[in-house]
Amino acid sequence: MHDQPNPSRPTSRKVLKPHRLALLASVAGLSFAVLAAGPGNYLPLNLPAWTSSAHAAETTSNAPGFADLVSKVKPAVISVSVRINGDAENGNIMQNERMDSDQSGSPFEQFKRFDFRIPMPQRHEVITGEGSGFFISPDGYAVTNNHVVDHAQSVHVTTDDGTVYTAKVIGTDKKTDLALIKVDGKKDFTYVKFADALPRVGDWVVAVGNPFGLGGTVTAGIVSARGRDIGAGPYDDYIQIDAPINKGNSGGPAFDMNGNVIGVNTAIYSPSGGSVGIGFDIPSETAKLVVAQLKDKGYVTRGWLGVQVQPVTADIADSLGLKQARGAIVDNPQDGSPAAKAGIEAGDVITAVNGAEVKDARDLARHISMIAPGTSVKLDVLHQGQAKTLTVALGEMPNDRHANAGEQQSREMAGTPHLGLQLAPAADVDGSGDKGVVVTAIDPDGPAAEHGFRIGDIILNVGGKNVSNVGDVRTALNAAKDSGKHSVLMRVKTADATRFVAMPLAKG
């Protein structure tokens, strides 16, 4: 016969050894309970009278948390849904450049932007996507990422209470990955404000968004670092956080403990495709300036200094008598540029803008880009060993000039693999020598940017052939493509070294 179970004792026959127990202590209430390692097994203890349930409730209510903050800001956070026509022109839009494209060999292949787009199986393919955003005014202006609404045929937002509204795109800025959208018909949306100061490393941060299309979700962590450059664009200056963010969180806000937005979620480092605790936010100081211009005129204009610069290496610093390798050394001021008019010369080192230290060439570009055209700025410059301060009236970034050059080069490069570069013969660019072609502009979302190209780099050789003009590059690329190669090897001269880069041959 088999023994019948005794209802007066547990049916589990696990032996609860001392080392299998975990002791949980509440320091504030000094209350204790013992949990068995096995699921559902608890060993009661005879607790003193002063550890009453009322006292435990009081301790719980006084425990620190984010509930008050979340209840205040969460109604301002929205889900952003888009529909995109998946025609031949936009056939690859469902695959976000940072998330799904083939970036094998790219140093940035594990940095991903998430806009969670899903193709719908129809004859004329329609692509839907989910991202996040947040209201910044009671009359319906909201911020999200450019890559969330890029190419969208229609945009809808869902608020925290489940109400769906139609939205329109007011303006976008690809260089910072920001977009401004607007919901009409209501004047009392809950909204949040951008923080006035940058957070400190180690400060608490709460991220709210729409991961995987689930709806409003809250995560918490700390600010891990500031000033991160992940190669996503020319003005990278990200805040790194460890609050988990995933697909669909793009465009969502990250809050400080006062409920102010310190950054806009835009990318994560992800070997696995999901959050590993390394996320990147566009800082509030950048977002405020960009959003203000988008609201005012629908696009962004940036200050223009008109210099070709490179970082100050240790050797350059030593030769110039600098104590540290800091600042940006001028290779060449462009003719007629604000820099040339102010007297800046080749060899000058720009060390500060309006008193703010310039760390390197990219830092100078970020400083200048944050200042409106027409503004006078003070530049601290080291000129022939002497420190001086120059006042420069910034011009406007000549986008039209770049666009015209790009159109001409597009005609020359028609039918060849897309690089995302604008090139000029080195002989035509002062200070570049007479060999190779110089990179004069870069598409921040193109393959060249993903493979580490920078303005001022000189391409010496493509596919084993020396190049001296755009035609040489076109010929070498087409030869590699016709031979069935999936990539072509380029020899590139940078500011301080020469390296080889294997560029993919996806057709442009």
Quick check: 470 pLDDT over 60? yes
Quick check: 198 pLDDT over 70? yes
* Strand extents, DSSP E, 159-275: 164-173, 178-183, 204-209, 217-228, 238-241, 253-255, 261-269
Q: What are phi and psi of 263, to 5 degrees?
A: -170, 165
Distance between CA atoms of 152 and 403, rounded to whole angstroms? 23
Tens digits of per-residue pLDDT, 287-340? 999 999 999 988 888 889 988 888 888 888 888 888 889 999 998 888 889 999
Q: What are phi and psi of 141, to 5 degrees?
A: -75, 135
Question: Which one has a higher pLDDT value, 100 or 370?
Answer: 370
- Per the prediction, the chain carries an average pLDDT of 76
CA dihedral 297, 301, 303, 305 (to 10 degrees): -150
Residue 361: CB partners within 8 Å, gap ≥ 6? Answer: 309, 310, 311, 328
Classified as helix, coil or strand, 448 is: helix
- CB neighbourhood size of 360 (10 A): 19
Is 81 a known active-site residue? Answer: no
Question: Which one has a higher pLDDT value, 76 or 40?
Answer: 76
Quick check: 36 pLDDT over 70? no
Q: Could you say which of 31, 81, 250, 284 is catalytic? A: 250
Quick check: 378 pLDDT over 60? yes
pLDDT at 65: 87
Q: Could you say which of 173, 177, 331, 348 is catalytic? A: 177
What 3 state SS string does 308-368 have? EEEECCHHHHHHHCCCCCCCEEEEEECCCCHHHHHCCCCCCEEEEECCEECCCHHHHHHHH
Closest C-alpha among 143, 163, 142, 165 to residue 155: 165
Structure tokens at 465: 């052939």
428-to-401, 431, 433, 439 alpha-carbon distances in Å: 17, 9, 9, 12
Closest C-alpha among 263, 191, 251 to residue 221: 263
Please tell me the least confidently modeled range out of 57-71, 81-95, 151-165, 198-212.
Answer: 81-95
**Residue 70: left if φ>0, alpha if ψ -120 to 50, beta else—which one?**
alpha
Classified as helix, coil or strand, 246 is: coil
Tokens 């991220």 map to which residue?
207
Tokens 């005609």 map to which residue?
411
| CATH code for the structural domain at 70-300 | 2.40.10.120
Do residues 238 and 228 make contact, with C-beta atoms less than 8 angstroms apart? yes
* Res. 93 pLDDT band, cuts 50 70 90: very low
The separation between CA 315 and the C-alpha centre of its own chain, rounded to angstroms, equals: 32
Quick check: 202 pLDDT over 80? yes
Distance between CA atoms of 499 and 490, rounded to whole angstroms? 8
Q: Which fold has domain 399-504?
A: Pdz3 Domain (2.30.42)
Q: Which helix or strand (DSSP H or E) is residue 277 part of?
A: none
Closest C-alpha among 224, 232, 217, 23 to residue 111: 232
* Res. 19 pLDDT band, cuts 50 70 90: very low
200 class by beta-carbon count within 10 Å (0-12 exposed, 13-18 middle, 19+ buried): exposed
pLDDT at 100: 35
Q: Where do the CATH 2.30.42.10 domains begin and end in the chain? A: 303-396, 399-504
Question: Which one has a higher pLDDT value, 409 or 473?
Answer: 473
* Res. 365 pLDDT band, cuts 50 70 90: confident
Structure tokens at 183: 């919901």
Distance between CA atoms of 373 and 393, rounded to whole angstroms? 8
Please tell me the least confidently modeled range out of 28-42, 80-94, 162-176, 286-300.
Answer: 28-42
Quick check: 30 pLDDT over 60? no
Question: Which one has a higher pLDDT value, 252 or 32?
Answer: 252
CATH architecture of 303-396: Roll (2.30)
* Furthest CA-CA distance within the chain: 104
CA angle 184, 299, 129 (to 5 degrees): 60
Tens digits of per-residue pLDDT, 158-175? 999 999 999 999 999 988
Is 337 a known active-site residue? Answer: no
AA identity, residue 160: D
Is 147 a known active-site residue? Answer: yes
Structure tokens at 91: 């056939």
Q: Which range has the top average pLDDT, 141-155, 235-249, 396-410?
A: 141-155
- CB neighbourhood size of 194 (10 A): 20
Do residues 465 and 436 make contact, with C-beta atoms less than 8 angstroms apart? no
Tens digits of per-residue pLDDT, 485-500? 888 889 998 876 788 8
* Res. 380 pLDDT band, cuts 50 70 90: very high
Tokens 């793009």 map to which residue?
250
Distance between CA atoms of 477 and 500, rounded to whole angstroms? 15
| Mean predicted confidence (pLDDT) in 134-147 | 95
Q: Where do the CATH 2.40.10.120 domains begin and end in the chain? A: 70-300
Per DSSP, helices labelled H in 413-485 are 447-450, 470-482
106-to-102, 110, 317, 416, 443 alpha-carbon distances in Å: 9, 9, 30, 21, 16
CA dihedral 190, 194, 197, 203 (to 10 degrees): 60
Q: Which helix or strand (DSSP H or E) is residue 24 part of?
A: strand 21-26
Q: Could you say which of 79, 81, 106, 147 is catalytic? A: 147
* Res. 267 pLDDT band, cuts 50 70 90: confident
Closest C-alpha among 103, 449, 110 to residue 268: 110
